Amino acid sequence: MADTIVLYAAPEHLNSMLILAIYITKHHQEVVHVTILSTASTSATATVAAIPSITYHRLSHATAPPPNHVTHPVELFFEIPRLLNPAVSEALEEISKKSRIRAFVIDFFCNSAFEVSKSLSIPTYFYISSGGYGLCVFLYFPTVHQTIREDIGIFNDFLEIPGCPRIQSTDFPSGMHFRVSNIYKHFLDTAINIGRSDGILVNSFDALEPKAKEALVKDLCTPNSKTPPVYFIGPLIPESNSKNGVTELECLKWLDLQPPRSVIFLCFGRRGLFSAEQLKEMAAGLENSGHRFLWAVRSPPGKPTPPSQEELDLDAVLPQGFLERTRNRGFVLKSWAPQKEVLSHDSVAGFVTHCGRSSALESVSFGVPMICWPLYAEQKMQREFMVEGMKVALRLDMADDGFVTAAELEKRIRELMESENGNEVRRRVEEMKNAGKAAAENGGSSVVELEKFMSAVNKVANHN
């Protein structure tokens, strides 16, 4: 009977789990098979089809809870996997008839499956794609919960979390602010189960978040118990798309014509939408900065959505004459940009980002310093980690509603491109690029951590 490791991810985090699957099989394909569970569509199948040691098992969709039962969009990311527990149990039992399940690795949105796998005596691990600082926050959250007065019910101060920079409590994801909300309860229950798990895989490497790693090793984030074994196995980023014709895109041809380290790249993920007013302010900031730029623009909310982003009328959403005035030093994309290919290009000097963890890791891996413009979810926390902890980014000053003025964007671009502070961030990112590369090589810290994880998996499985 073959050995298998089962990975389970919500659609929101499936891509990062696929990268983990590929990483495990790259180093251990001769001794272990990997099966991925998710409700995502067959697009995932194409990714793993060419890898014989990875199998994709699609779970049937659960019926979503009634709208009046869900008060926050992120709540669905937890609720759908909870409703799928019977299907997960059935899938695990089916897989166990054909192979020995050595470990069950779950995305934190799939926390509800923790009780399923434990009831089947399957060693269960969490995969934390949000990094070492993010894991410190998760593990310490039950302690934070115990210190909040129930009659207040909302964070209203700075939080001192072991291993992390100081975090303004309002920088936590909005759904975590009120202890009476369902999403708060989901995060708390997930944090407790992470502390009860057999181990935790983290998409990071030692040099990037050393204080977080130290706090985790010393059990500082779980003051009332021992922290499960933690394995920093990153940086795990997607493979380049260059083999699929992406190199022929016009924006990359344009980058080929620009001087080395001269272009600011602006891209904000698939949910990065800005108002028409903010887009015009961004355009003014870019124009006034005097620097070259590559900018991915999406149709603002509230505007009629074009049949496709390719039909977006840029002249209608950007200031009059902007495209003509900046045509010799700017390139504006409609919606989508080949992010990895852009970040790896020699002409790119900086990245204005929404602080998504995957984007930040890609930027570090290619040695590109960042300017932080967080938009939603945990991105304000990630900004603190990137600016104060990793020191690989600059901060944008934002209004309470998130609005950024043209003058502020211009100021930060100039700071990154023209000041000693910007040079220092650039040097730090280059250092982290080299450290991440070394960590991922044979004998590097992340590969060694993967070996420790595999040894632990075999030990726990054999014990059971």
- Per-residue model confidence as pLDDT tens digits over 4-46: 999 999 988 988 999 999 999 999 877 789 999 988 765 555 5
Same domain, 256 and 134: no
Same domain, 23 and 84: yes
Give one DSSP letter per residue of 238-269, joined into a string: PPPSGGGTGGG-HHHHHHHTSPTT-EEEEE--
Same domain, 233 and 379: no
Pick the catalytic residue: 13, 72, 291, 354? 13
Same domain, 46 and 189: yes
Pick the catalytic residue: 28, 33, 72, 107? 107
Same domain, 246 and 195: no
DSSP code of residue 109:
G
pLDDT, tens only, 109-168: 999 999 999 999 999 999 999 999 999 999 999 998 888 755 455 556 788 999 999 998
Q: Which residue range is the domain that position 201 belongs to?
A: 2-238+441-463
Burial track 219-242 (b if 16+ CB lie within 10 A, e otherwise): ebbbeeeebbbbbbbbbbbeeeee
Q: What is the CATH number of the domain that holds 213?
A: 3.40.50.2000
In order of 251, 254, 295, 324, 398, the CA distances from 330 in angstroms are 10, 9, 8, 10, 24
CB atoms within 10 A of CB 430: 15
- Contact at 8 Å (CB) between 312 and 306? yes
- Residue 107: active-site member: yes
- Residue 13: active-site member: yes
Phi, psi for 378 (deg, rounded to 5): -90, 15
The pLDDT tens digits along the chain (464 residues) read: 789 999 999 988 988 999 999 999 999 877 789 999 988 765 555 566 567 889 988 897 666 676 666 667 788 899 999 999 999 999 999 999 999 999 999 999 999 999 999 999 999 999 999 999 999 999 999 998 888 755 455 556 788 999 999 998 889 887 777 788 889 999 999 999 999 999 999 999 999 999 999 999 999 999 989 999 999 999 999 876 544 455 568 999 999 999 999 999 999 988 889 999 999 999 999 999 999 999 999 988 866 555 555 568 898 999 999 999 999 999 999 878 999 999 999 999 999 999 999 999 999 999 999 999 999 989 999 999 999 999 999 999 999 899 999 999 999 999 999 999 999 999 999 999 999 999 999 999 999 999 999 999 988 656 55
What's the structural domain count of the chain?
A: 2
Distance, CA of 376 to CA of 201 (rounded, Å): 24
Is 0.85 topped by the overall pTM? yes
Same domain, 427 and 307: yes
